[in-house]
Amino acid sequence: MSRRLPVPAAPGPLENYACCFDELFNKSNQRDAFRRYLEGLLLPTERNKTLTGLANTEPLVGATHKDAQKLQWFLSESSWDPTMVNQRRLALLKEREHTQPNPEGALVIDETGDRKWGKHTAHVGRQYLGNIGKIDNGVVSVHTLWASEERYYPIEVEPYTPSHWFALGKNDPAFRTKPRIALELINHAKEQNIPFRAVVADSFYGENHPFWEVLLQDGVPYVLSLNPSHVWWHQIGTIGSAEEVAMASPWHEENPGAWLKLTRRFRDGHEETWWALEGVAGPFGPERSQRLIVVTTNP
Whether residue 60 is predicted with pLDDT greater than 80 in this model: the reply is no
Residue 159 C-beta-side C-alpha neighbours within 13 Å: 12
**Domain boundary pick from 48, 80, 112:** 80
pTM for the predicted model, two decimal places? 0.89
271 in the same domain as 215: no
60 and 167 in a single domain? The answer is: no
More confident residue, 294 or 1: 294
Amino acid at 59: P
Q: Is there a single domain that holds both residue 114 and residue 66?
A: no
- Tens-place pLDDT, residues 223-271: 999 999 999 999 999 999 999 999 999 999 899 999 999 999 888 889 9
**Among 180, 200, 222, residue at a domain's last position:** 222
CB burial of 193-209 (b: ≥16 within 10 Å; e: otherwise) equals ebebeebbbeebbbbbe
- What are the CA-CA distances from residue 235 to residues 148, 248, 279, 282 (Å)? 40, 16, 17, 10
Same domain? For 120 and 205 the reply is: yes
42 lies in a domain? yes
Whether the predicted pLDDT of 1 surpasses 80: no
- The answer to whether residues 253 and 237 belong to one domain is yes
Cβ–Cβ under 8 Å, residues 268 and 274: no
Same domain, 215 and 232: no
> What is the span of the domain harbouring residue 270?
227-296
Same domain flag for 47 and 147: no
pLDDT at 117 over 60: yes
Sign of CA dihedral 85, 197, 131, 183: positive
Mean pLDDT, to the nearest integer, of 88-103?
95
Please check whether residue 96 lies inside any domain of the structure.
no
Report the distance separating Cα 37 and Cα 52, nearest Å: 11
Query: 261 by DSSP, 3-state: which?
Result: strand
What contacts 1, CB < 8 A, 6 or more positions away?
A: none
Same domain, 181 and 270: no
Last-in-domain residue among 171, 197, 222 = 222
Residue 291: its pLDDT value, please?
95
Q: Provide the mean pLDDT of the chain.
A: 92
